[in-house]
Structure 1
Amino acid sequence: MNRNITQNCSVKINRKLDADYRRYRWQIIVTTFMVYTVMYISRKSFSAVAPMLMSDLGMTAVQFGFASSVYYILYGVAKFSSGLAADRISPRLMLAPILIIISVISAGIGASNNVTMLLTMYCLMAVVQGCGFPPIAKALSQWYSKSERGGWYSIWNTSHNVGGALAPLIASGVIATTGDWRMAFYVPAIITAIQAILAAIFMKGSPESCGLPNVGEWKNDKKQLEINANSETNLSLWVMFKRYILTNPIIWLAVGGDLCIYIIRTVTNDWVVVYFVKELGWDLVKSNSLVSWFEIGGILGGLSSGFISDKLFQADRWKTILIYCLVLVAGMVGVVISINLSYFILSLCFFVIGVGIYAPQMLFALGIIEAAHSDGAGAATGLKGGITYIGAALAGAPIAIMQTSYGWSGVFTVLSVISFLLIAMTIAIIKIERTYKPHTD
């Protein structure tokens, strides 16, 4: 009889544990999704109202371009430094303060009366925005195990697209309603402040801090348990960073691959319209539609890649990346072939390029987290972000110089070389991962 009572108690405890885990996991995914969506709304408002800032405050196109380049650099530096902090501070304690500061800065941009103040606040926004992703990456690595993480990460990753789509709609809507461009910053400031409160309420620390077992144990995920077993405990931040991240060839190759992805993505976003309008004489609406098809393909690529890597490749991110890289190259070749033949086929090719860009971008971020120490998600993400945003900067002035000196054929040649390097580095990762073990001496 005592045995039956013990068994019944054990069953009730396990049911409660399962219920708590599921509830917290949904809180984490919804909260982090909303946090990053709101951060994107605040971040992209500047670009959405840039023409009005030029006419009202006298900001020049050169100043705007310079600010954009500085933004990428500051964002990358902040992402790296905050990544180290994220591995020692609970995501719950980081996200709400970050959102509050973003809210204040957004209001400050709206209150700016001259270009100097405006651009100073915009650069401050870059620093704080750069601190947002590492704690989110930490939370996703803590609450979802390796064999299922791709699917959950794919869902979360669409927050980029949702936020990027909402930002211009909100900005345009409030300006059309009020006639005041400043409201395009005040409204996101209010939204961000509300989200800060929600994050403080619903965000959680690690499962262990909530009295729950490690997610690998709860899911009985052999792949996650293997990561945990290979991650030494009681290491200092510097030793962990050096041993599992800084000297890890897989992470460096993945960062290099992601750098290539960022260059191709930014060139597509920033230069496609210029090329088709200036070189081929297309109108602005038709040229912009190609970028829209690119973004739509990106949503499909980001959503599908995580589930495919989980279900078809047993959570092998690198082999999945290689498949999507080949899709990317096929789309690029298709553009070259169809550029003067058919708008429909050309649009389809840009859709395919979007799939081939956003899928590896998502999987590189996830693979780098999983290649690091189990407690090093923030630092690994920070290192990746600090370097790969150089790719965004490289797609600006250097591409302009390349186009001026060697024409568009020179730009296309550079993109072809970058695509080759991307595939080569991905293949190298697949080979190295089979035998690589971190040095423990």
Structure 2
Amino acid sequence: MFRIFAAGADAPLRGDVDVDATFRRYRMRIILAITLAYAVGYTCRLAINIVKKPLIDAGIFSPLELGMIGSALFYTYAAGKLINGFVADHSNVKRLLAAGLILSALCNIAMGFSTLFWVNLLLWGLNGWFQSYGAPACVVALASWFSNRERGRYYGIWSTAHSMGEGLTFAIVSALVAFGGWRWGFWGPGIATVAAGIAAYFAMADRPRTLGLPTVGDWRGDHYAPTAPGTPERGVFATQLSILAIPAVWILALASAANYVTRYAINSWGILYLQEARGYSLAEAGAMLTASTLAGIVGAVAFGFVSDKFFGARRPPANLLFGILELIGLLLLFFGPDNRAIVLIAVILFGLGMTGLVTSLGGLFAIDICPKRVAGAALGMVGVFSYIGAAIQEQVSGALIDANMHMVAGERIYDFGPAIAFWIGCSLLATLLATALWNTKLRD
């Protein structure tokens, strides 16, 4: 992988170009490419969530089997995010992102042709591995092209890709399944993501130094603190390993793991919950969760802006604020009155708070507290915990829902109570851990 995706060597600084204009041009292309391509590729990760009820109703898979298939993606994604995070720091990220998108798309297309449990388990696990190329490539691009005191805003813009991908899944993929059957829940995202991968390859660029440009920190004059004179320069791999000695990284990783339990609980089981516990149709449930993802777009941008502008690029105060919003939304969703306006308010608050926390805990805060040259490794360290949490969620939630489901007069009756307690408890834990890092040191 190092050879296939290797980054170019640093080039001599160029004096024949307008550096400001060149930076502005590349930065615009890169933020658009990583945001839009990642959003489309995200549908290839969530497609299975839309087809759970059709697959259960057709007797193809049980909730327990779907939980196992879903967790396969999270386990391989967790391992891949760590490994590929380290790879991304050495890589030409446009190659890494494009390859991940196209290979993930092919896995989805193949899923639409299979109804065999072990085949789908293998395909969805491979999909998780290829999906794990995406976030490290995007985060390395962000660290390479956007400086310290502006990164929160641009990271927030990129983080809207998660919500856009969820919205595309809940709205468009739900419609494809409703009109064309469950197989189109995989084929539609796969076809679109192949096109997104090709477009991202031609829009993106390697690190600025490989193009003969200065580093973004030098260009912007934006450094946290100068390196002490005489300090020996570490190699990339040694710097990657050094993040293991930062206690805040471990706390952040645990907070992100707990946060991802709730995040993927709603993504994975929210459609089923609204259908069975609230009596929504597939289209209505998809529309409701689409509203949550639209709120998430606002939440991602708002988190970056609020933490940069009001808290001086400090994330913990914003973590507390957005964590409280998320908890209020969850409590309203599960324990509020059976009123569609209240449910809509609940999913909007959840989307705002959750996506703000994902923006911070899922990568931005890790980049802040680790050396920027190893942004991919920092993301990978947090990511492996995040997606182990998501994988555990998928198995535990599937088992809890399956164990508390029973048949009455030939009709399935669901009791989501134990699963809901698990989801809310993890959300509370994530908020407490994220807030505990109040005075964490930031690094250049």
**TM-score, structure 2 as length reference:** 0.80
Query: What residue number does 2:351 align with?
Result: 354
1:76 matched residue in structure 2:
78
Superposed displacement of residue 428, structure 1: 2.5
> Shift of residue 43 of structure 1?
2.9
Residue in 1 that maps onto 2:384: 386
- Secondary structure of the residue aligned to 1:23 is helix
Is structure 2 residue 419 aligned with structure 1 residue 421?
Answer: no
State the alpha-carbon separation in 2 of the partners of residues 122 and 318 from structure 1.
35
* Aligned ranges 1:245-260 → 2 under 5 Å: 245-260=243-258
SS in 1 for 2:206: coil
Q: Is the 8 A contact 2:371 2:443 kept in 1?
A: no
Which stretch shows the higher mean deviation, 191-200 or 367-376? 191-200
The C-alpha deviation readout for 1:219-256, integer Å capped at 9, x for no partner, is 12243xx38779x774345432332x211111111112
Tell me, yes or no, if the aligned pair for 2:145 and 2:216 is still in contact at 8 Å.
yes
Per the alignment, residue 8 of structure 1 pairs with none
SS in 1 for 2:18: helix
CA 1:125–1:233 in structure 2 vs 1: closer, same or farther (change >3 Å)? farther
Residues of 1 paired with 2:121 and 2:309: CA distance? 46
Equivalent pair of 1:227/1:373 in contact (CA under 8 Å): no
Instruction: Name 2:368's counterpart in structure 1.
Output: 370
Change in CA separation of 1:157 and 1:276 when aligned onto 2, cut-off 3 Å? closer
C-alpha distance in 1 between matches for 2:63 and 2:327: 33
User: 1:300: Cα distance to partner?
Assistant: 1.9
Please list, as runs of the form range in 1=range in 2, the aligned pairs for 1:122-137 lying within 5 A after superposition: 122-137=124-139
In structure 2, the partner of 1:6 is none
Q: Deviations over 1:292-330 (max 9, x none)?
A: 443333222112111111111121122221221233334
Amino acid at match of 1:295: T
Counterpart residue number, 1:37: 39
Q: Would the alpha carbon gap of residues 347 and 124 (structure 1) be closer, same or farther in structure 2, given more than 3 Å must change?
A: same
Distance 1:409 1:51 in 2: 19
Tell me how far apart the structure 1 counterparts of residues 315 and 127 of structure 2 sit (CA, whole Å). Answer: 32
Equivalents in 2 of 1:313, 1:32: separation in Å?
26
Report if the CA contact (8 A) 1:261-1:422 is conserved.
yes
Indicate if the aligned counterparts of 1:293 and 1:348 stay in contact, CA closer than 8 A.
no
| Amino acid paired to 1:198 | A
Distance 1:412 1:60 in 2: 20
**How far off its partner does 1:61 sit?**
4.4
Residues 273 and 284, structure 1, Cα contact 8 Å, conserved in 2? no
- Kept in 2: contact 1:52–1:181 (CA 8 A): yes
Which residue identity does 1:422 align to in structure 2?
A: A
Question: 2:253 is aligned with what amino acid?
Answer: V
Give the Cα separation in 1 of the matches to 2:175 and 2:103: 24
| Pair 1:314 & 2:322 matched | no
Distance 1:175 1:103 in 2: 17
2:278 maps to 1:294: no
Deviates more, 1:50-59 or 1:341-350: 50-59
Deviations 1:39-83, CA, capped at 9 Å, x for gaps: 123333344455666788944544322111111111111111111
- Distance in 1, Cα, partners of 2:56 & 2:342: 37
**Unaligned 5+ runs, structure 1:** 1-11
CA apart distance, 1:132: 1.6
Q: For residues 82 and 345 of structure 1, do their structure 2 counterparts lie closer, same or farther at Cα, with a shift above 3 Å needed?
A: same
Matches within 5 A, 1:45-60: 45-49=47-51, 58-60=60-62
Please say if residues 41 and 163 of structure 1, whose CA atoms lie closer than 8 Å, have aligned partners that are also in contact.
yes
| Distance of 1:262 and 1:411 partners within structure 2 | 15
Taking the aligned partners of 2:127 and 2:104, their CA distance within structure 1 comes to: 6
Deviation at 1:366, TM superposition (A): 0.3
Highest CA radius of gyration, 1 or 2? 1
After TM superposition, the structure 1 = structure 2 runs for residues 102-251 of structure 1, keeping only pairs within 5 Å, are 102-112=104-114, 114-167=116-169, 171=173, 185-186=186-187, 188-223=189-224, 226=225, 234-243=233-242, 245-251=243-249
In structure 2, the CA distance between the partners of 1:270 and 1:100, relative to structure 1 (3 Å rule), is closer
Aligned partners of 1:275 and 1:57: how far apart in 2?
19
**Cα distance change, pair 264–47 in 1 and its aligned pair in 2 (3 A):** closer
Q: Which amino acid aligns with 2:210?
A: S
Query: CA separation of 1:311/1:228 partners in 2, compared to 1, >3 Å: closer, same or farther?
Result: farther
Report if the CA contact (8 A) 1:170-1:184 is conserved. no
Equivalent residues of 2:257, 2:388 under 8 A apart: yes
Return the letter of the residue paired with 1:381. L
Q: Deviation string for 1:95-148 (max 9, x for gaps)?
A: 233233234434433454755434422221111111221111101111011111
* Aligned AA (1:363): S
> 2:71·2:392 contact (CA, 8 Å) conserved in 1?
no
Q: Matched residues in 2 for 1:33 and 1:421: separation?
A: 29
SS at 1:395's partner residue?
A: helix
In the other structure, the counterpart of 1:96 is: 98
CA distance in 2, matches of 1:119, 1:402: 20
| Higher helix proportion | 1
Residue 27 (structure 1) shift: 1.2
Q: Measured at CA, do residues 109 and 352 of structure 1 come closer, stay the same or move farther in structure 2, by a change above 3 Å?
A: closer
Change (3 A) 1:28 1:176: same
RMSD: 3.6
Q: Greater CA deviation, 127-136 or 421-430?
A: 421-430
The 8 Å contact of residues 100 and 132 in structure 2, kept in 1 or not, is answered as no
Tell me if structure 1 keeps the 8 A contact 2:367–2:379.
yes
TM-score (norm. length: structure 1) = 0.81
The within-5 A match list for 1:256-335 is 256-271=254-269, 282-284=279-281, 291-332=289-330, 334=332
Q: State the partner residue of 2:9.
A: none
The CA deviation at 1:215 is: 0.9
User: Which amino acid letter does the alignment assign opposite residue 317 of structure 2?
Assistant: K
Unaligned stretches of 5+ residues in structure 2: 1-13, 405-414
